[in-house]
Amino acid sequence: MESKKYLIETFGCQMNIHDSEKIAGMLRNLGYNETQEKSCADIIIFNTCCIRESAELKIMAKIGDIKALKKANKNLLVVVCGCMTQQKGMPETLKTKFPFINIIIGTHNLEELEEYIKKYEQTHKSFSDVWEKEKEIKEHTSVYRTSKFNAWVNIMYGCNNFCTYCIVPYVRGRERSRKLEDIKAEVQDLVSSNKYKTITLLGQNVNSYGLDFKDGKTNFVTLLKELSKIEGDFKIKFMTSHPKDFSFELVDFIASCDKMSKSIHLPVQSGSNNILKIMNRHYTIEHYKELVDRIYDKIPDATITTDIIVGFPGETDEDFIETCKLLEYVKYSGVFGFVYSKRRGTPAEKFDNQIPINIKRERITKLFEIQHAIVKTNSEQLIGKTLEVLIEDKIKNVFIGKTDAGKTIKIKNENLELGNFYKVKISKVLTNELVGEVIID
Ligand code: SAH
Ligand code: SF4
Ligand code: F3S
C-alpha cells in the first residue's frame, strides 16, 4: 500500500521553520511521507504566524483555499498550529470561519501533535486544544531536517521583553532556556554527522540565554564557549539578539573564535530615542552605536543586519530622519524593514497617535532606497577582497556558494566539494550576487 502523505505550510520566522521540522519528524513517526501537491495530501498542516496583520490575512486566505479540497476528499485531515492560534478568541474564530479544520493546537503543545493525530485517526472527531501557559521544555522530539547545510537548534523559547508593538510574548510565553548539556549533545550530533556546516542557535533574545537558571554562571557566552569546543569544520550563528543584552564580552568572544560567524543580526527597530522609549526597547541609540563601533573595531570583517519598523504610533518626520541617519552610520549589509502593524492585545494598539498608511508607505520606500544604495557601495568595496565561502550547489560548471554574510557567490572551478569552506577572492559584483575565484593557500 502507498504511504500516507503530508504537506506542511510554514509561515513566519526561523523558529517556525524549525518547528515544522519537528512536525515533519512526528508525521514520519506515524508513517506519513512528504508531498508538495496539496491534492495528494492526506494531512495538511498550517504552521502559522501573527507578527503582522498581513501574515494573518495571507494565512486565512490559504486556509480558505482548502475548502474545495476537503469537499473532494472527506478524509483529508486539516491541522492549524503555531502562533496565530495562541491568540485569545482565535480558535473560535477559526472554527466559525473554517468548520472543516480538524485539529487546532497552540505553540505550547506542539510536542503533543503526534498523540493528537493518533487520537483523531481513532475517533474522527475534530477538536481544538490550545494551552494558555507554557510547560517545562520537552526534549527528544524527532526532527526531520529540511535545510541542506544549516541546522537550526533551539536554545531557548519565549520572550520576556514586551516591546509595546509585539505579539510574540503573548503567543510564545515566558523565556525558558534549554539545558546546556542538551544543546551541546544536539550540536555534537549534528557536527559529527558531517552534514551540517552552520549551526544556527535560535531564540527570541539569545542574549538572555541561561539567565532563568539563576545559577550565576550560565549565560550566552558560556554556552558559545562550550559549543565552540566541539571539533569539526563548522560555524556557529545565532538569532535574534536584543541590543540591550548584547554584551561587550560577547563581541570579544566572537572576535576571538574562528568558529563564530562574523555576521551579526542586531535589530534596532528605530533610530530615534523617543520612539525606542515608547517601544519599551530599554536602550538608547547612543548605546546601540557604541555597540556597533565595538563590533567593527574588534571584528574588522563583521557584517551587521537589522530589523526596522516604520510608522510606529507617534513617529514624526524627525524620528524617521534619525532612522535614516542610522542606516548611513552603520552601513548595514541588510535591513528587514516593516510597516508597523497593530496587534491585538499589545500596548501600542491603544496608542491614539497612529500613523496614516500613506505616510508609512512613503517611509518604507525611502528606507529601502537608502539601504539599496548602501548595499551597492558595500558590495563594490568587496572587489579584490578574500572571503570564506561555503559551497552549497553546482549548476553546470558553476559552483554556487554563500559568504558568511549570506551573499550568493558564483565560482567557476573544476575541483570544489559541496559542503566545504573555501577562501574566495571577489572579482566582480553583480546586482544580487558576487563572482569570485578560489584562492589556494
Ligand atoms: N525576537 C526578535 C524577532 C521578533 S519578530 C527580536 O526581538 O528582534 C521580527 C521582527 O518583526 C521584529 O524585529 C520587528 O522588526 C518586526 N515586528 C514585530 N512586531 C511588529 C509589528 N507589530 N508591526 C511590524 N513589525 C513588527
Ligand atoms: Fe518581540 Fe521585543 Fe520579544 Fe523581539 S524582544 S520577540 S520584538 S517583544
Ligand atoms: Fe515567529 Fe511569527 Fe511567531 S515571527 S515567533 S512565527 S508570530
**Cell 541617519, residue?**
325
CATH code (residue 354): 3.30.750.200
Q: Residue 317 in contact with residue 275, Cβ under 8 Å? A: no
Domain count, the chain: 4
Q: Do 168 and 267 contact (CB within 8 A), yes or no?
A: no
Residues 372 and 392 in one domain: no
In a domain, residue 137? The reply is no
The finding on whether 16 has its CB within 6 A of some atom of ligand 1 is: no
User: What's the pLDDT at 1?
Assistant: 65
Task: Quote the DSSP letter at residue 30.
Answer: T
Q: Which three cell numbers stand for residue 292?
A: 556597533
Contact 370, 328 (CB under 8 A): yes
Residue 134 lies in a domain: no
pLDDT at 272 (0 to 100):
98
Same domain, 398 and 372: no
Whether 51 is in the pocket of ligand 1, judged by its Cβ within 6 Å, is yes
Q: Is 159 in the pocket of ligand 2 (CB under 6 A)?
A: yes
List the grid coordinates of 85.
492560534
C-alpha 157/C-alpha 159 separation (Å) is 7
CA distance 330 to 327: 5
Is 224 inside any structural domain?
Answer: yes
Distance 267 CA to ligand 1 centre (A): 9
Q: What is the pLDDT at residue 2?
A: 78
Residue 141 lies in a domain: no
- The closest-lying atom of ligand 3 relative to the alpha carbon of residue 84 is 7
Among candidate residues 202, 228, 258, the one where a domain is terminated = 258
278 in a structural domain? yes
pTM of the entire structure? Answer: 0.95
Distance CA 192, CA 412 (A): 30
Tens place of pLDDT per residue across the chain (441 aa): 678 999 999 999 999 999 999 999 999 999 999 999 999 999 999 999 999 999 999 999 999 999 999 999 989 999 999 999 999 999 999 999 999 999 999 999 999 999 999 999 999 999 999 999 988 888 867 899 998 999 999 999 999 999 999 999 999 999 999 999 999 999 999 999 999 999 999 999 999 999 999 999 999 999 999 999 999 999 999 999 999 999 999 999 999 999 999 999 999 999 999 999 999 999 999 999 999 999 999 999 999 999 999 999 999 999 999 999 999 999 999 999 999 999 999 999 999 999 999 999 999 999 999 999 999 999 999 999 999 999 999 998 899 999 998 889 999 877 899 999 999 999 999 878 899 988 866
Cα distance between residue 398 and residue 122, in whole Å:
52
Would you state the cell numbers that stand for residue 323, as one nine-digit string? 532612522
Segments forming the whole domain that contains residue 430:
386-438
Q: State which of 336, 359, 381 marks the end of a domain.
A: 381
Q: Do residues 405 and 381 make contact, with C-beta atoms less than 8 angstroms apart? A: no
Identify whether residues 69 and 177 lie together within a single domain: no
Cβ-based neighbour number of residue 263 at 10 Å: 21
Name the nearest CA neighbour of 236 among 172, 186, 285, 173: 186
CA distance 154 to 169: 17
pLDDT of residue 147: 87
Three-state SS at 302: coil
* CATH number, position 176: 3.30.750.210
C-alpha cell at 30: 506515524
Report CA(48)–ligand 3 centroid distance (Å). Answer: 8
